[in-house]
Chain A
């Protein structure tokens, strides 16, 4: 079945450090890929998405590229801020209204 695997946390970085959170997926066909973020005490927010191979999603300085050959969608940011502290979920969906399948989440803490 379809699944998402992402690096285990927690991840602790100093402010302005470079961030990479690895994500790989297993799916038949060509799913859409997402990164969601969950700030403490809040619901999920869509951070970025990519709907086909080689697409790059970007938002708020975060980027991820849909790599079909490696079935990966790694999240990167060049310079993290304290306000980026949250839990990040990699996810996929097969069709425009299909269920979203989430990875286990990676907790990020950014210290001043």
Chain B
């Protein structure tokens, strides 16, 4: 079992550009959440996808959008990048109705640097 995988590992963009990050959930998982972790801080919830729809959203602007595919993988898109978007972006997956109460499995993250 490969666990949660994310790509790319690192990414460098310039202000105003757009970026797409990808996540494959752990085998058997159907729910994907995205978090932003700024340097020295705890992760902040961006949004969650289930059955290809956004189910919950944190306090992030519309520049942050996502998608979930039929195979449960997910993308995070960020438009009009600015310096403050530089962070580690974490993907987490879980299975609806799992006996492991809300045990979300996290991927290694994508380190985004905006110059």
Task: Give A residues with C-beta under 8 Å from B.
Answer: 4, 32, 36, 42-46, 49, 51, 89, 91, 93, 95-105
Contacts and interface: CB of A to CB of B under 8 A. Distances in A.
A85 B44 CA distance: 23
A75 B108 CA distance: 24
A98 B41 CA distance: 20
Contacts of A96: 97-98, 101-102
Contact of B106 (A32, A43, A99, A101): A43
Interface residues of B, number: 30
Interface string B30-67: 01010100001111110010100001101000000000
A36 B109 CA distance: 15
A23 to B, nearest CB: 12
Report which residue of B42, B92, B106 has the largest number of chain A beta carbons within 10 angstroms of its beta carbon: B42
20 contacts: A32-B101, A43-B4, A43-B106, A44-B43, A44-B92, A46-B105, A49-B101, A91-B42, A95-B102, A96-B98, A97-B48, A97-B55, A97-B94, A97-B96, A99-B58, A101-B45, A102-B44, A104-B41, A105-B41, A105-B42
Given A32-B101, A49-B103, A104-B41, A44 B90 contact: yes
Contact of A43 (B41, B98, B108): B108
Contacts of B101: 32, 49, 51, 96
Interface string B79-111: 000000000001010101110011111111100
Contacts of A100: 33, 35, 43, 45, 92, 102, 104
A78 B94 CA distance: 31
Contact of A42 (B56, B104, B108): B108
